[in-house]
Structure 1
Amino acid sequence: MESIHIIIRDGFYIYEEYLVDEIGVNPIRNSVKRKKPKLYLQGIFVHYLMKELSESELFRNNFINNQKRLSNGRNNLHIVLQTTSIDLLDHNWNHRICEMVREKSEVDHILSWLSTLGGAYSALGDYFQECAEIAAKISANQFKLALRIGDPQIAARCRLYLALSLIQRKLFRQAKKIIYREYRQAVSDIVIDIRLLRMCKGIWAKLQYEHFLHVQEKQKSQASSERNHSMTETRRYI
């Protein structure tokens, strides 16, 4: 089997050694102590060379045959690293990426605080109308941040939080539309988010329960009103 021994080094140190054959590129440790041909390459091009040797069998075989032909049959090659002559970093793009990463970190931090605060107000919203309204405002702010970072999953959860606030304020029809739309969108996504589906089902169950209690309370209130009205009419005739 044809093979070639490649040693990557600079003027003083040996960094890596590989045995390249028809099967692939394998790292080795024991260097052969003999005179070896030298190939001077810039560091970035060494990376590209080794990557191509690993990926392409045709390139690998041609490289082995050509190197043996140029070095009179020797199967050893020194690749001597040279200083890169061009600037490989795009500093403007690097600065932009740093700003985007910093902004994403800050937005994630704000979202975590809003989630904690919104959860507290949402829990109190079952007992206090004002807390449900504040929870809705917090959900709206979370939704704005989700749109800013372009995360559709967080945006969907923010809309469901808003639906939960609407349920607490007895606005069942608006909440129903939001939950139904988010569920249909979640099941049609290419990658289905199981947690989002469970969230839709959980809030839908709360909607049904709260609507049932609201209807019962309304019926009791109506029955009580009719009973009081009947008693008033009876007293009037008496």
Structure 2
Amino acid sequence: MCPLILTILSPDKYYYGKVLLDNREVLNLNDFNQNEGKEVLKGKLNLDCVFVHYFIKELILSCIYRNNFLKFVNTSDVLPRNLILQETKRDLIDYRWNEHVCFLIREKCELDHALSWLSTLGGAFSALGDYFEKCADTAGKISVNQLKLAIRLGDPNIASRCRLYLSLSLIQKKKYKLAAKIIEAEYVTSKCAIIVDERLVRMCKGIWSKLQYEYSLYRKNKGLKS
């Protein structure tokens, strides 16, 4: 099939560009020769600008549609090579997308609200976790729920903090090896990030210091008991 060049213009002959169609891809030709205009404008077709937008988009996205279109053009001389954009008669409102965006915004607000409540509640249980193991266990569960919300929000920094909160709970429950792995992983990730969050780095160092202190106390108490 022979390639096809479509020229897109306004009613007053302003060139928006040219599109080259072949069976493999669609190319935008911005380096067209304006001297070709008189020759090319012999055949033209007036089309709604919105229709032209979706028409070109479909040619780009669908290989089957593009090949069928080229086959039709090559076997008939019906379609002019110049598309003259006309002002759309109706302003289109995408109600379905609008509802989807409203849902996403509302969901994010609710997730932010839930995350703030869990953060307050988790902080309280974490403070008591140094004295009561059940509180440390509850703080860990809250951190896991916070992590799920952070992943849902798509915020890697908040997700990293939630994992560090979980490591605090593990330290309180004397699961030092697992806590150390989490802290090390988050520290490496935070240092290798494109934009380094210094607060997150300092948070890793602070929790690591707590881990070292708690582990030294644990070993000391274990040595006294033995």
State the one-letter code of the partner of 1:214: Y
Q: 2:220 aligns with which of 216, 220, 223?
A: 216
Specify the alignment match of 1:203 in structure 2.
207
State the one-letter code of the partner of 1:180: E
Deviation by residue 1:29-56 (Cα, 9 ceiling, x = unmatched): xxxxxxxxxxxxxxxxxxxxxxxxxxxx
Residues 127-206 of structure 1 aligned to structure 2 (within 5 Å): 127-206=131-210
- Give 1:166 deviation, angstroms: 0.4
- Give 1:153 deviation, angstroms: 1.1
- Extract unaligned runs of 5+ from structure 1: 1-82, 223-238
State the one-letter code of the partner of 1:104: K
State the one-letter code of the partner of 1:138: I
Bigger Cα Rg: 1
Over aligned residue pairs, what C-alpha RMSD do you find? 1.4
Question: Matched residue pairs, number?
Answer: 140
State the one-letter code of the partner of 1:107: L
**Match status 1:117 vs 2:140:** no
Deviation by residue 1:170-207 (Cα, 9 ceiling, x = unmatched): 11000000000000000001011111111101100100
Q: 1:87 aligns with which of 84, 91, 95?
A: 91
Say which is worse superposed, 159-168 or 141-150, in terms of deviation: 141-150
- Give 1:220 deviation, angstroms: 1.0
Specify the alignment match of 1:126 in structure 2.
130
**C-alpha distance in 1, partners of 2:107/2:121?**
21
Deviation by residue 1:100-155 (Cα, 9 ceiling, x = unmatched): 00000000000000000000000000011110000000011111111112111111
**C-alpha distance in 2, partners of 1:84/1:211?**
71
- Extract unaligned runs of 5+ from structure 2: 1-86
In the superposition, the TM-score normalised over structure 1's length comes to 0.57
Partner SS state of residue 143, structure 2: helix
Q: Equivalent pairs: percent with the same residue?
A: 59
Partner SS state of residue 170, structure 1: coil
